[in-house]
Amino acid sequence: MDEMAHSTMKRIGWAVLALAAVGLGGCKQERPPGVYDVSIGEAYRRLFADKLADMVYAKQCGILVHVTPVGIPGYQVTWRVHSSGREVVQFTAVLTAISANQTKVEIRMPPAGSGEMYDGSQFYKRPAFNQPLRPAVQEQVAAILEGRKFDVRNIGPGRDKVCQVHRAGLETGLVFRVDD
């Protein structure tokens, strides 16, 4: 009787394993966040070539900003953001090869106070971007590496009231300057 029960359990165990294998085989493997299906060389090439125009348009406030990518090939791309000749913020995408065709991208923002620049809790008299900025940078990087358009719906609304007022001014032709 014991032997029979043991044999039945064994069979059930194999069946469960087989089913799990079939189930897993049917699923498309989810990429971990920040990992993209491109080689590190291609990721660098694409990011370095991009001035993030869509993200800038979606998030900019009332000052005019210019984005300049600088990079260390195969390692990182930093976007420096200037307004009236002054650097107002920069952020970096650090690249790590996961495999020949997969690259992990980590976004780094400069620290500020107890958080980081444009994290939603900072105050800027002449903000460059609506806060929080990190989700917008992540979305822009994802759009570039996934070969799709930047989708503003993926980043949530901005919370910076000063920025919103300045942006409304810019949209009606009133340009602010970082040194006003």
Partner 1 sequence: MKPFSFGVILIACVAAYLYYIYPNAADGRVYPVTIAQARQDLAKAELPPYVFASQPLDVTVRNNGDTEVIWIIRRKSEELFRYTAQLTAEDKGATTRVKLKLEGAKGRTEDYAKNLADNPKIRDMYFVAMEERVASTLLRRPFDMSRIHAAMASAAVANLPNIRKSADEAAAASAEMERSTIQRAYRNEATGARR
Positions that interact with partner 1 (CB under 8 A): 57, 60, 64, 170-175
Of 19 and 174, which CB lies nearer to partner 1 in the complex structure? 174
Minimum Å gap between C-beta 52 and partner 1 is 14
Minimum Å gap between C-beta 99 and partner 1 is 40
Minimum Å gap between C-beta 64 and partner 1 is 5
Minimum Å gap between C-beta 38 and partner 1 is 30
Distance CA 84, CA 142 (A): 29
Minimum Å gap between C-beta 140 and partner 1 is 17
Distance CA 102, CA 104 (A): 7
Of 84 and 122, which CB lies nearer to partner 1 in the complex structure? 84
Q: Are 55 and 142 contacting, i.e. CB atoms less than 8 angstroms apart?
A: no
Of 165 and 175, which CB lies nearer to partner 1 in the complex structure? 175
Tell me the CA distances in angstroms from 30 to 18, 27, 38, 106, 125, one per residue in order.
21, 8, 15, 18, 42
List, as one string, the DSSP characters of 19-74: HHHHHHHHSPPPPPTTEESS-HHHHHHHHHT---HHHHHHHB-SB--EEEEEEETT
Of 25 and 173, which CB lies nearer to partner 1 in the complex structure? 173
Of 33 and 173, which CB lies nearer to partner 1 in the complex structure? 173
